Amino acid sequence: MENPVNEVVCHNESDTSCRKSHHPEPVKKNLTTRLNRIEGQIRGIKGMIDKDVYCDDIITQLSAIQSALNSVAKILLEGHLKGCVVDRLSEGDEEVLDELVVTIQKLMKK
């Protein structure tokens, strides 16, 4: 049986490629809007570099992008905590706590 290109085949429930989040449509729209804005900012920085814009001005724009990415991460983390983590804990899956610690450590490296 052939699979469509974007279909994920799940062999068992512990396979992390099978997990999906379930964001409400308004949250998805918010995240997409923010990421589109960030994408535009990155294109703008590329243009600034091509035009030899003063380094400090580029660094200021990079800082704004980092802040915007942190906002996206906060929204995703909140949804993850209130949705995925709560659901998995209620199913008795305490492994999610170890996963969450690693995720938070990754976010704090930045």
pLDDT of residue 19: 74
Task: Flag whether pLDDT at 101 surpasses 70.
Answer: yes
In a domain, 37, yes or no: yes
What digits encode the pLDDT tens for the residues 12-60? Answer: 455 555 678 778 999 999 999 999 999 999 999 999 999 999 999 999 9
Q: For residue 84, what is the domain's CATH number?
A: 1.20.58.1000
Structural Rg of the chain based on CA atoms = 19
Q: Which amino acid is at 32?
A: T
Three-state DSSP at 4 gives coil
Residue pair 97/84 in contact by the 8 Å Cβ criterion: no
In a domain, 81, yes or no: yes
Range of the domain at 46: 24-108
- DSSP string across 32-56: HHHHHHHHHHHHHHHHHHHTT--HH
In a domain, 60, yes or no: yes
Residue pair 84/103 in contact by the 8 Å Cβ criterion: no
In a domain, 69, yes or no: yes
Q: How many domains does the chain have?
A: 1
In a domain, 17, yes or no: no
In a domain, 84, yes or no: yes
